[in-house]
Structure 1
Amino acid sequence: MKILHIIFSFSTGGTETMLVDIMNEQSITNKVDLLIVNNVVNEALLRTINKEVNINFLNRKPENRNPIPIFQFNYKVFKINPTVIHFHNHNAINLLKYKTKAVTCLTIHDVNVSVINLFKYKKLFSISNAVLDDILRRSGISSILVYNGIRCEQIPTNSNLLDFDKFKIIQISRLDHEKKGQHVLMEAISILVNHKGLNNLQLDLIGEGSSLSYLENLAKELNIEKYVNFLGMKTRKFIYKNLKDYQLLVQPSFFEGFGLTVVEGMAAKIPVLVSDIDGPMEIIDNGRYGFYFKSGDVKECSEKIHDIIDGYNTKEIKRKISEAHGYVKENFNIKKTAQNYIDNYES
Structure 2
Amino acid sequence: MKVLHVIGTFNNGGIENLLVNLTRQQVNQGLEVGLMITTNSYSEAMIKALDSRVSVLYVQKPVGNHNPFYFFKINWMYHKFSPDILHLHSPYTTPYFKSLGRKEKRFVHIHNNVDIYGYDKSVNQYLAISQCVYDVYKAHINNDYCTICYNGIDFYAVKEKTIYKDKPVRMVQVGRLLMEVKGQDITLQALEMLIKDGCNLRLEFWGNGPDIGRLRNMVKEKGLESYVKVAGDVDNNYICNHLCDFDIAVYSSRHEGLGIAAIEAMGAGVPVVLSNVDGHKEVSENGAVCSLFKSEEPHSLADEIKKITDNYQEAIALSHKAKKYVRDSFSIEKMASQLLNIYQNY
State the partner residue of 1:62: 63
Residue 91 (structure 2) pairs with residue 93 (structure 1):
no
SS in 2 for 1:288: coil
> Following superposition of structure 1 onto structure 2, how do residues 315-334 of structure 1 map, counting pairs within 5 Å?
317-334=315-332
For residues 213-267 of structure 1, give each alpha carbon's deviation from its aligned partner in whole angstroms, at most 9, with x where no partner exists.
Answer: 2111211222212100011111111111111110111110101111111111111
CA distance in 2, matches of 1:214, 1:268: 30
State the partner residue of 2:289: 289
1:116, CA displacement in angstroms?
Answer: 2.1
Residue 310 (structure 2) pairs with residue 307 (structure 1):
no
State the partner residue of 1:34: 35
When the two structures are aligned, how many residues end up with a matched partner?
A: 342
**Aligned AA (2:55):** N
% same residue: 29
2:149 pairs with one of 146, 149, 163: 146
CA distance in 2, matches of 1:274, 1:318: 15
TM-score by length of 1: 0.96
Structure 2 CA distance for partners of 1:262 and 1:40, relative to 1, 3 Å: same
Say if 1:161 and 1:312, in contact at 8 Å, map to a contact too: no
Structure 1 runs (4+) greater than 4 angstroms displaced = none
SS in 2 for 1:36: strand
Q: Which runs of 5+ in 2 are unaligned?
A: none
**Aligned AA (1:334):** I
State the partner residue of 2:342: 344
1:119, CA displacement in angstroms?
Answer: 4.0
Structure 2 CA distance for partners of 1:141 and 1:115, relative to 1, 3 Å: farther
State the partner residue of 2:219: 219
**Aligned AA (2:89):** H
1:158, CA displacement in angstroms?
Answer: 1.6
1:124, CA displacement in angstroms?
Answer: 1.0
**More displaced stretch, 302-311 vs 72-81:** 72-81
> Following superposition of structure 1 onto structure 2, how do residues 50-199 of structure 1 map, counting pairs within 5 Å?
50-97=51-98, 98-142=100-144, 143-162=146-165, 167-194=169-196, 196-198=197-199
CA distance in 2, matches of 1:23, 1:81: 17
Say if 1:91 and 1:117, in contact at 8 Å, map to a contact too: no
Say if 1:190 and 1:223, in contact at 8 Å, map to a contact too: no
CA distance in 1, matches of 2:193, 2:122: 49
Say if 2:160 and 2:269, in contact at 8 Å, map to a contact too: yes
CA distance in 1, matches of 2:312, 2:284: 18
1:117, CA displacement in angstroms?
Answer: 4.2
Q: Which runs of 5+ in 1 are unaligned?
A: none
CA distance in 2, matches of 1:154, 1:82: 30
**Aligned AA (1:203):** L
Say if 2:116 and 2:140, in contact at 8 Å, map to a contact too: no
Say if 2:12 and 2:235, in contact at 8 Å, map to a contact too: no
**Aligned AA (1:21):** N
TM-score by length of 2: 0.96
Say if 1:162 and 1:313, in contact at 8 Å, map to a contact too: no
CA distance in 2, matches of 1:71, 1:300: 52
CA distance in 1, matches of 2:12, 2:52: 19
